[in-house]
Amino acid sequence: MNLRVKNALISVSNKENLAKLLKTLKKFNINIISSGGTYNSIKKLGYKCTELSKYTGFKEMLDGRVKTLHPKIHAGILHDRQNKKHKNEMSKQNFPPIDLIIVNFYPFQKIVFNTKNPKKIIENIDIGGPTMVRAAAKNFKNVAIITNKADYSPLIKELENFKGKTSLKFREFMSSKAFGLTAYYDAMIANWFNKRLEIEFPERKTIFGKKFQNLRYGENPHQQSSIYINDYNDIELGFRQIHGKELSYNNYNDMFASLDILNSLKKNSATAIIKHGNPCGVSENRKPVVSFKNAYASDPVSAFGGVIACNYKINRKIASEINKNFLEVILAKGFDKEALKILRKKRNLRIIDISNFKFKSLISMKSFDGSFLLQTKDLIVLDKKKLKCVTKLKPNKKELAEIQFAFNVCKHVKSNAIVISNNFSTIGIGAGQPSRLDSCKIAVQKAKQFQSSKIRNSVAASDAFFPFADGINTLIKAGVKTIIQPGGSIRDQEVINAANKAKIKMFFTGVRHFNH
């Protein structure tokens, strides 16, 4: 059912793009009601407008906290035009209908992003705006609601096509957008309070997100996908794509995994190579080019078509190394001009600058059907108070640093996870196996295939305890001389005995790092 728009109420904190809309409203003789800054802007643009306080006969009060919260406004929005009782009540009160509401809210998220002053933040929690929006959205059969300046053009088109009227289809669609906005707005406020009060797991958890972009498809071509931003700054993700084709769902998934690893490696130049959510090469070194080469050498076959993340700036020399291989994405803290010139030769290579990326949330989430799981992020690597050498042979300082590196990388590998490293570079990774023994075999096989000369005297890390001695025996046989694991198995002594017999060093951390 198409309905004529006779009266419109406009109350917007963002005054952009009003002129073209006002021209259309005037063309179809639509009366405008407004207040405050919006009223002044409309008058300055040369259009007639009735001030809200004159319309209601009631001056705004409490520093503007109460102005649109008035029966004449809400009855005008909420009454059912087909209900005789409603029509009679409106007639008795001499309340005209309001057929179009154009509202955007106080910029709560912008204020939160720019200040830590709680008084200022609370004053920017909009009450009247969301109340009008909810009222109009509920009564979409009779009222059109516009909550975004991007929808001015569709509204203008609607009024032009239907000669001053709006269609039911349009009103219902705008209603769905309006309820999405009020839910988003309230979720931001609730999350601000939870963060302020340090409530990580509230009784009711609302997650807000604004669509950043549609993706080509999901994990597979028959799946649809989009990426959303869950932050008060919902315009950017914190990193910038410089070159290459659009990022896919799988690209983002691998990029996020790589950023998690880089965030845990801060001492030297670090490189992480990710494939299908798992690291296949990680290295730390004082020299960036050595870090890159060592990470890639860990498993060059798996690195094919992977994502490489670096916590350093890419120069010409490293760019030339990168271009010897086929990669999907390169993330780095900047690229010099010569490096970009080289990398751009690969038309599809996605080049991402992560110079300004910062982690903002310490909570991770997984969803399934009608439920979701929340947990704090796994930020611990080693608790030095719990670290215990359980073998007769004891470590030196360098070995302690190496085991910390290996155990840290292990934390980012899908369980069951085994990582073999040498000189702060992975040389073999066994990931995601139901059997820990199989993960040991895979890590050894990878190390023998690509880094056989480095297995001797290497370090192996396990994300959880060894239930039997067979796993460590596989590692020892390959040449591993130091093993780090959480411990806690009923057969720990059996495993310790095997380590002592082989004259290797083994540490218990008391910290498990499952990553599912």
Q: Tokens in use for 49?
A: 């407008």
Kindly tell me if the per-residue pLDDT of 61 is higher than 70: no
Tokens standing for residue 514: 């499952």
Average pLDDT over residues 94-108: 89
Average pLDDT along the chain: 92
- One fold for both 3-196 and 239-353? no
Q: What is the pLDDT of residues 331-357, one digit of tens each?
A: 999 999 999 999 999 999 999 999 999
The CATH number corresponding to 3-196 among 3.40.50.1380, 3.40.50.2300, 3.10.20.600, 1.20.140.10 equals 3.40.50.1380
For the stretch 392-404, pLDDT in tens is 998 888 888 999 9
Phi, psi of 326 (to 5 degrees): -95, 115
Catalytic residue among 87, 177, 276, 313: 276
Instruction: Give the fold, CATH level 3, of 388-508.
Output: Cytidine Deaminase; domain 2 (3.40.140)
- 153 contact partners, CB below 8 Å, separation of at least 6: none
pTM for the model stands at: 0.87
Q: Report the percentage of the chain scoring pLDDT > 70.
A: 99
222 annotated active-site? no
Greater confidence (2 vs 455) lies with: 455
For position 277, what pLDDT does the model report?
Answer: 93
Helix (H) or strand (E) holding 331: strand 329-332
| Residue in this structure with the two tokens 């990326």, named with its chain if needed | 357
The active-site residue out of 6, 110, 138, 293 is 138
Residue 431 has pLDDT above 70, yes or no: yes
Task: For residues 164-174, give the mean pLDDT.
Answer: 94
Q: What is the DSSP letter of 201?
A: S
Query: Where does the pLDDT of residue 89 fall: very low under 50, low under 70, confident under 90, or very high at 90 and above?
Result: confident
Q: Is 428 helix (H, G, I), strand (E, B) or coil?
A: strand
- Catalytic, 138? Answer yes
Question: What residue ranges do the domains of the chain occupy?
Answer: 3-196, 239-353, 388-508
pLDDT of residue 397: 83
* Whether pLDDT at 63 is above 70: no
Q: Which CATH class is domain 239-353?
A: alpha beta
Higher pLDDT, 116 or 464: 464
> Over the stretch 212-237, which tens digit does the pLDDT of each residue have?
999 999 999 999 999 999 988 888 89
Q: Is the pLDDT of residue 377 over 80?
A: yes
Mean pLDDT across 310-329: 94
Q: What's the pLDDT score for residue 399?
A: 86
Please give the Cα distance from 395 to 389 (Å, whole number): 8
Query: Does residue 68 register a pLDDT over 70?
Result: yes
Alpha-helical runs (H) found in 457-511: 470-478, 492-501
